[in-house]
């Protein structure tokens, strides 16, 4: 008698689990259609929305959000959306016009709305049209604020699914807190002085503030700026004077400039950092398929470079 009872229990568990799953995961046609401006944000929205949302991203992986040229397909995608989510802080300068052209009248959510914006770094290297530093996601504490805003927006759009959204948020924020603790623990293993890192553009200043690393670049805050000869010469002097050994290419930027600087300063390139996009999702061997993976990869790379 014991065996049939056990079987019955298993059957009931399976039936209830199926009902619960069906209640929390609507069929594809009824999922909330969300357009996120770039891939890192798209991942955060998927983590919170799970099976309740269908997330499309305007700027694909391995394309540069600073200089993105929208397509007619982007306008069609936005026209069909229930919700549009962007970073804000002047990051997506092309988005307002794209939304106007699409005819979309739904909610516009700014993920970075709770972040304290960082004033532009005073590198003196270039001028930029950007007013504040938009790369706030590189500090995990800021990413937690993004998740808060994203969850709130999804709960307003999906009022019948508030409990499951809160559950997704709780799990994801736990993961982000663990990530933040891990990054801090990794840096505690290094001396706190002389943590200088060269990258292509100034994408990592929020990261630098959070984890005590100083980033220098030849370009400035946006990749649409051109480096001046004086800026490059100054950077090479900085590398020599500060004895900087950590220098990185970024996944979206041309290798040439950093290769020339490394050659001139007689140091070798340490690897690739992911600044403004995830790695190509078609290539599963690449290391930044999610925001959490991106932060882990960048941290391991930077620490390896600083140990040189
Ligand atoms: Zn950038």
Place of tokens 């808060």: 148
What's the CA-to-centroid distance between 155 and ligand 1, angstroms? 30
- Residues of the chain with pLDDT > 70: what percent? 87
DSSP assigned state of 170: H
How many whole angstroms separate alpha carbon 247 and alpha carbon 269?
5
Query: Over the stretch 251-278, which tens digit does the pLDDT of each residue have?
Result: 988 889 999 999 999 999 999 999 999 9
How many whole angstroms separate alpha carbon 282 and alpha carbon 39?
13
What's the CA-to-centroid distance between 26 and ligand 1, angstroms? 36
Q: Is the dihedral of CA 199, 201, 206, 209 positive or negative?
A: positive
- State residue 22's pLDDT score: 46
C-beta of residue 273 within 8 angstroms of C-beta of residue 251? yes
What's the CA-to-centroid distance between 133 and ligand 1, angstroms? 9
C-beta of residue 139 within 8 angstroms of C-beta of residue 209? yes
DSSP symbols for 124-148: -S---S-SEE--GGGSHHHHHHHHH
Tokens at 303, concatenated: 């620490």
Query: Over the stretch 197-234, which tens digit does the pLDDT of each residue have?
Result: 999 999 999 999 999 999 999 988 888 888 889 989 99
- The count of C-alpha atoms lying within 13 angstroms of the C-alpha of 230, restricted to the half-sphere facing its C-beta, is 4
What's the CA-to-centroid distance between 222 and ligand 1, angstroms? 5
């Amino acid at each position: 008698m014991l065996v049939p009872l056990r079987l019955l229990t298993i059957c009931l568990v399976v039936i209830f689990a199926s009902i619960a799953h069906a209640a929390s995961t609507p069929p594809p046609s009824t999922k909330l259609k969300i357009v996120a401006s770039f891939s890192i944000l798209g991942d955060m929205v998927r983590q919170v929305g799970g099976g309740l949302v269908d997330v499309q991203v305007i700027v694909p992986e391995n394309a540069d959000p600073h200089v993105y040229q929208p397509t007619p397909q982007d306008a069609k995608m936005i026209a069909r959306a229930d919700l549009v989510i962007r970073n804000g802080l002047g990051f997506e300068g092309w988005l307002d016009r794209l939304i106007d052209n699409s005819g979309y009248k739904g909610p516009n959510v700014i993920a970075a709305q709770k972040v304290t914006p960082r004033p532009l770094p005073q590198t003196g290297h270039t001028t930029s049209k950007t007013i504040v530093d938009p790369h706030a996601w590189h500090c995990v504490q800021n990413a937690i604020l993004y998740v808060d805003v994203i969850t709130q927006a999804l709960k307003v759009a999906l009022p019948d699914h508030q409990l499951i959204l809160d559950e997704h948020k709780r799990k994801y924020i736990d993961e982000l807190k663990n990530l933040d603790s891990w990054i801090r623990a990794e840096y505690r293993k290094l001396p706190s002085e002389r943590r200088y890192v060269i990258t292509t553009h100034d994408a990592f200043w929020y990261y630098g503030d959070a984890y005590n690393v100083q980033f220098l670049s030849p370009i400035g805050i946006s990749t649409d700026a051109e480096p001046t000869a004086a800026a490059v010469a100054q950077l090479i002097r900085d590398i020599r004077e500060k004895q900087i050994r950590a220098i990185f290419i970024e996944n979206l930027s041309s290798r040439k400039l950093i290769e020339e600087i490394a050659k001139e300063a007689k140091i070798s390139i340490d690897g690739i950092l992911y600044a403004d996009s995830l790695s190509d999702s078609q290539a599963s061997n690449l290391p930044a398929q999610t925001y959490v993976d991106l932060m882990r990869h960048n941290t391991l790379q930077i620490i390896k470079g600083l140990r040189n």
